[in-house]
Structures are given as structure tokens and as C-alpha cells.
Amino acid sequence: MTTSQSDIAQGPVLNQPVMLSHGTISCRNLEASRRFYEEFLGLDCVHHTGRGLLLRKGGYLVIVCLEVGEHVKPVDRQHHWGLDLESREAVDRALKLAHDLADKYGIHQISRITDHHDSYSFYFRDLDANYWEFQYVGGGQDNGEGRYDKFFSRGDID
């Protein structure tokens, strides 16, 4: 049986999800990775299971970090995690700190800052070959509506 466009337009196949709750990354060593997540990225962390750590910042969505030892698989830059900063100057400071603290936290493949698509940002890889982006996207929250809320409020592009 195939699904037609009219079937999709009627709603999701499953019951309506309540929310997008989590994604997953892997690490070699929870202790070393936690130090990076808390001290460098400034994320909130909790060791919730034997080989697992929950990461979050500023919302309900969490990243589940699972310790897999040497079975870590590097990802490409298209599969990155983005962190919004409050200003262009904060991005500049983060870039300097990434270079200054690279050896301490296992940071590598630090890109140059790019300034396009209303985003001022740079990328880097962590000790487990996950990509991260620090970005500033301009005016921040306007009237309680954030950048991504505005995209959803606008709807699909033509």
C-alpha cells in the first residue's frame, strides 16, 4: 500500500507527537566529554544512566550522549549542533577561546567566521568528532518570538 499526497495532507500517520524531545550523539569517555560540554559549551548536564548523559540549554529538547568507547563515528559538518550567542562580539570571543583552549578540550577543525544568511558564525569539532556551531543571528527575541518561531509563523517559502 502506498501513501498518497492527499493522505499526508490529512495529518500524521501516527498519533500527533507531543514534542520533539531528543537527539543522540556518542562519545568515547563521558567524564572528558562532560567537562567539555559544561566548561566550554556551558551546557547543563546530568548523568542519567550508566553510559548516558543528558545535555540541554534553554529549553526542553535534550541531546542524549552515549559512551561508546572507540566505536565513535565522526559526522560531517552538515550534522552539527548550533548554539546561539548574544552578539557578534561573543562569537569573536568564542572563536578566540576555541583556539586558546583547543588542547585542553580536544577542539579541532576550527573554521573561520562566516557572515551570511543573517548568521555570524563558526564551526568546530569536539574531542568525539561531533561538529558544533557558535552563531549570532541578529536581533534575538522580538516580542517573545524567536528566529525559528518566525520561520514557522511565516510558513513554507514559495
In angstroms, the CA 26 to CA 114 distance is: 27
In single-letter form, the type of residue at position 136 comes to Y
Q: What is the pLDDT of residue 4?
A: 53
Which domains does the chain carry? 19-71 (3.10.180.10), 74-144 (3.10.180.10)
Neighbours of 89 (CB within 10 A): 11
* Mean pLDDT rounded to a whole number for the chain: 89
Summarised one tens digit per residue, pLDDT across range 73-131 is 989 999 999 999 999 999 999 999 999 999 999 999 999 999 987 899 999 999 999 99
Count Cα neighbours of 32 within 13 Å in the Cβ-side half-sphere: 14
Q: What is the pLDDT of residue 147?
A: 78
List the grid coordinates of 132: 558544533
Q: What is the pLDDT of residues 17-36, one digit of tens each?
A: 888 999 999 999 999 999 99
Give rounded-to-5 percent helix, strand, coil for the chain: 30, 30, 40
Residue 143: band (very low, low, confident or very high) from pLDDT cuts 50, 70, 90: very low
Dihedral sign, CA of 78, 31, 70, 110? Answer: positive
Angle of CA points 134, 140, 63, to nearest 5°:
45
13 pLDDT above the threshold of 80: no
115 forms beta bridges with: 120
Integer Cα distance of 84 and 130 in angstroms: 17
d(CA 94, CA 82) in angstroms, rounded, equals: 13
